[in-house]
Amino acid sequence: MLSTESDLAHFVLELRREDAAETTIAAYRSDLALFAQWFAESVGTPMTAAAVTPTDLRDYKTHLQTVTGAKPATINRKLSALKTFFAWAPGRRLITDLPTSSVKGVGQGERSPKALETREIHRLIREAERRGKKRDIAILQTLRHTGLRVSELCALRLGDVQIGERSGTVIVRAGKGRKYREIPLNVDARKAIARYLTVRPRMVDDHVFLSQEKRGLATNSVWALVTGYARRAGLEEVTPHTLRHSFAKGLLDAGVNLVAVAELLGHARLETTAIYTRPSARDLERAVERLSVEGQP
C-alpha cells in the first residue's frame, strides 16, 4: 500500500486542485502503486514515505532495467512520478529528506535532449486555449519562449517581469548557482503574461503565478499542469524541461550562436549547452530517410 490510503488521497487531491488531467492522475497512481508493490515484496514491509531510501529507489531503477526490461523513457517516467510524490511529501510532514535527490534517470545515448517541434508546441498551447485558462497559457508560453527552469518560473515576483508595448524582460535573480540573468520576452510571451495579469488576483502573494489558494505555485504543480496538457494533446513524455529543451534547440536551429544560447539558459559552461547541437532521434531519422529510393525525385 502506498504510504497510507489517506496520504495517496491527499496527494491526488493536490493534483486535482492544480487542475492535473485525470489521465495524469491515473498514471501517477499506477506508477506509485507499482513501486509500493515492489517495495513490499523486496523489503518485506508495507511502503511508507519515511521508509523509502535512496538505495531503495536505485534498486527499483535497476529492477526496471534488468528484470522488467523497461525502456529508458518508461523508467524515467516512473521515476518522475516518484519524484513528484516525494516533492509533495515534506509539505505533509511525511518526510524531512528527499530520497530522490541523488537518484538520476536513465541515459538515452549521446543525443540532443527531447525537444518538441513547432506544430507539437502549438498543439500543447491549443489545449490550454480551449480551456480558456489565461494563467496556464501564460505559464506555457513563458516556458516555451524563455527556457526558464521550473524553479525559476515559480520564484518569479511581479517586479521581475517588465512588459512594454514593444519589448519586455523577465529577470531571474537567483538561478542555478545563484546566477542572475535577464531574458527578453518576445511578443507571444508578452501578450500571454499581460492577459493573465488582467485577471490575476490583486493584493495577495506577489509571486507572478498563483495557485487556486492564491499563493505561489509549487514546482510539482507546474509539472502536473504541463504533463496534463501534453497528455490531452496526445504528446508523450513531455515535461516543463521539454519546453526548456525546445527553446534551446529552436534557437540553435535558427542560427543563434552557442554563447548567446548559454547566456539565455543560464549555463555556466558552454559544454552544457553543446548537448543541444547533438542530433536528435528525429534528426537521425530524417538523415536516413534521405537515402530512401522512394524519397528521391
Contact 123, 150 (CB under 8 A): no
Residue 175 C-beta-side C-alpha neighbours within 13 Å: 20
Of 77, 135, 149, 245, the active-site residue reads 149
Going by DSSP bridges, is the β-strand pair 168-172/181-184 parallel, antiparallel, or unpaired? Answer: antiparallel
Of 29, 173, 191, 241, the active-site residue reads 241
CA–CA dist 136, 126 (Å, integer): 11
**Element (DSSP H or E) covering residue 184:** strand 181-184
Does the annotation mark 241 as catalytic? yes
Does the annotation mark 92 as catalytic? no
Does the annotation mark 244 as catalytic? yes
Of 114, 244, 245, 249, the active-site residue reads 244
Please say whether the dihedral angle defined by the alpha carbons of residues 39, 44, 49 and 55, taken in this order, is positive or negative. Answer: negative
Place of cell 499542469: 225
Does the annotation mark 267 as catalytic? yes
Beta strands in the chain (DSSP E): 161-163, 168-172, 181-184
Of 17, 71, 130, 176, the active-site residue reads 176
Does the annotation mark 149 as catalytic? yes
CA–CA dist 73, 281 (Å, integer): 13
Does the annotation mark 282 as catalytic? no
Which residues are designated catalytic? Answer: 149, 176, 241, 244, 267, 276
